[in-house]
């Protein structure tokens, strides 16, 4: 399957339809296709510093020309001293949530071949307008935009026009409120906490969660309210070793082929997947393993907490204790929030240190930047 505008082939309705509405600018599929056709021929394209419409023109022109395209954070480019693989199409990078971004190379097929199943699971249609909530060098947003244009849907930055959106949970629960036509919300990039899931689902929006990584793309999905667990995609295999998740996928980057260790702690029950979070976010409190994401989900569900992060702090006796860093919404004082936490959390998971910040450090995709936080 090839990457082309408008799905498996354009028709008049697609050509005359709206492809992009961005910063007040509108492009039809016919106009976008003409721009793609006229794009310069280069051995390697670079869309990193381009605005979204031009960046997507560059991506689809590279696919049409059979060349590679770089889409990286201009402020934190990965080292690309190694030669480009002749099969590479997308030159992207990890998010850098735990350190400096690492370069990745992937083929067009490693994304496009997953699009039909992803379309069926999410329910996104050609008639949808998909809201992009972050820069394209964050692969979650690039995937969302490329999938939408492959399908024949519209891409926008205007929540008032959008019917579908991809975002991390912390962003998703706020942005859905500003989408009067919201039909589908897709959560990715971090675990979907119960509070966010309940809030979004209560608005009558189809809520889909997917788990993946920059190296592997889609791994597992669930439709909230229909499935209690993430389910591995067709063709994706997984196993655990010492509690850590390893995945073998047809959708992997070139460097992640075969069995690839993501670094997340997880459990498998057949094709069902339960992800506990990053192994480097496992906090050893006196011999008890506390998963940072579990603590964060509990804290985020408390009244008055907008967002939360949990990290391990060194302790001379226990090895580590939990420290909490919170964004508050201003409705409640920290002492009341701490009291609520003490009433429901185990003594090992209960934070010993509490810090309130105006804004947690985040990556471009909206995930907590643990390296910066520590």
More confident residue, 353 or 11: 353
- Asked whether the predicted pLDDT for residue 327 surpasses 70, the reply is yes
The neighbour count for residue 200, using CB atoms within 10 Å, is 23
Question: What angle (nearest 5°) sits at the alpha carbon of residue 61, between those of residues 55 and 67?
Answer: 105
Instruction: Tell whether the model's pLDDT for residue 89 goes beyond 50.
Output: yes
- pLDDT digit string, tens, across residues 286-315: 777 788 888 998 999 999 999 999 998 888
User: In the chain, pLDDT over 70 holds for what percent of residues?
Assistant: 95
pLDDT of residue 191: 79
Residues ≥6 apart with Cβ < 8 Å to 306: 170, 326, 327, 328, 329
pLDDT at position 319: 81
- The pLDDT of residue 98 is 47
The closest alpha carbon to 106, from 136, 73, 68, 77, belongs to 68
Within 8 A by CB and 6+ apart from 213, the residues are 94, 219, 262
The yes-or-no verdict on residue 100 having pLDDT over 70 is no
Q: Is 166 within 8 Å of 141 (Cβ atoms)?
A: yes
Tell me what pLDDT residue 14 has.
65
Between the ranges 27-41, 178-192, 294-308, where is the mean pLDDT highest? 27-41
- The answer to whether residue 161 scores a pLDDT higher than 90 is yes
Mean of the pLDDT values across residues 77-90?
90
Q: What is the pLDDT of residues 139-159, one digit of tens each?
A: 999 999 999 999 999 999 999
The least confident of 68-77, 92-101, 310-319, 324-333 is 92-101
What average pLDDT does range 36-42 have in this prediction?
Answer: 97
- pLDDT score for 96: 54
Report for 12-16, 98-102, 288-292: range of highest mean pLDDT: 288-292
The lowest-confidence range among 116-120, 182-186, 241-245 is 241-245
Per-residue confidence (pLDDT) for residue 7, from 0 to 100: 53
Residue ranges of domains in the chain, CATH in brackets: 12-276 (3.40.50.12780), 286-373 (3.30.300.30)
- What is the pLDDT at residue 286? 78
Distances in whole angstroms, Cα of residue 292 to Cα of each of 86, 116, 159, 173, 302: 40, 34, 32, 21, 16
Task: Give 3-state DSSP helix, strand, coil % of the chain, rounded to 5.
Answer: 25, 30, 40
What is the distance between the alpha carbons of residues 116 and 273, in angstroms, rounded to a whole number? 21
- The more confident residue out of 87 and 284 is 87
For the segment 182-190, the average pLDDT, to the nearest whole number, is 92
Reported in sequence order, the residue ranges of 81-193 that DSSP labels E, i.e. its strands, are: 90-93, 103-106, 129-132, 154-156, 164-167, 184-187
Report the length, in residues, of the chain: 374
On the question of pLDDT at 99 being above 70, the answer is no
Model confidence at 9, pLDDT cuts 50, 70, 90, reads: very low
Which phi and psi angles does 231 have, rounded to 5°?
A: -120, 135
């Amino acid at each position: 399957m090839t990457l082309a505008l408008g799905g498996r082939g354009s028709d008049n309705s697609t050509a005359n339809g709206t492809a992009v509405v961005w910063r007040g600018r509108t492009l039809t599929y016919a106009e976008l296709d003409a721009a793609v056709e006229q794009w310069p021929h280069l051995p390697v394209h670079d869309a990193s510093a381009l605005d979204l419409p031009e960046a997507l023109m560059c991506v689809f022109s590279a696919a049409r020309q059979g060349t590679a395209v770089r889409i990286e954070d201009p402020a934190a480019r990965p080292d690309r001293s190694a030669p480009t693989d002749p099969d590479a199409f997308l030159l992207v990078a990890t998010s850098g949530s735990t350190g400096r971004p690492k370069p990745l190379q992937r083929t067009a097929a490693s994304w496009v071949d997953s699009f039909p199943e992803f379309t069926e699971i999410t329910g996104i249609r050609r008639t949808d307008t998909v809201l992009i909530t972050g820069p394209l060098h964050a692969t979650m947003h690039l995937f969302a935009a490329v999938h939408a244009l492959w399908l024949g849907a519209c891409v926008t930055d205007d929540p008032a026009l959008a019917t579908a959106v991809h975002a991390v949970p912390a962003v998703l629960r706020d942005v859905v409120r500003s989408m009067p036509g919201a039909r589908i919300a897709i959560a990715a990039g971090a675990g979907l906490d119960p509070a966010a899931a309940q809030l979004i689902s209560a608005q009558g929006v189809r809520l889909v969660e997917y788990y993946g990584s920059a190296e592997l793309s889609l791994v597992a999905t669930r439709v909230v309210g229909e499935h209690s667990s993430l389910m591995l995609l067709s063709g994706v295999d997984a196993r655990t070793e010492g509690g850590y998740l390893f995945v073998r996928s047809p959708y992997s980057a070139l460097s992640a082929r075969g069995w690839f260790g993501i670094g997340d702690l997880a459990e498998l029950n057949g094709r069902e997947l339960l992800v506990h979070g990053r192994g480097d976010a496992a906090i050893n409190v006196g011999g008890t393993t506390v998963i940072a994401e579990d603590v964060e989900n509990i804290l985020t569900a408390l009244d008055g907490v907008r967002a939360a992060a949990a990290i391990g702090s060194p302790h001379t006796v226990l090895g580590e204790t939990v420290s909490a860093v919170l964004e508050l919404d201003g409705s409640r004082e920290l002492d009341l929030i701490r009291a609520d936490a003490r009433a429901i959390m185990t003594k090992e998971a209960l934070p010993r240190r509490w810090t309130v910040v105006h804004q947690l450090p985040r990556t471009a995709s909206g995930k907590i930047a643990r390296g910066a936080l520590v």
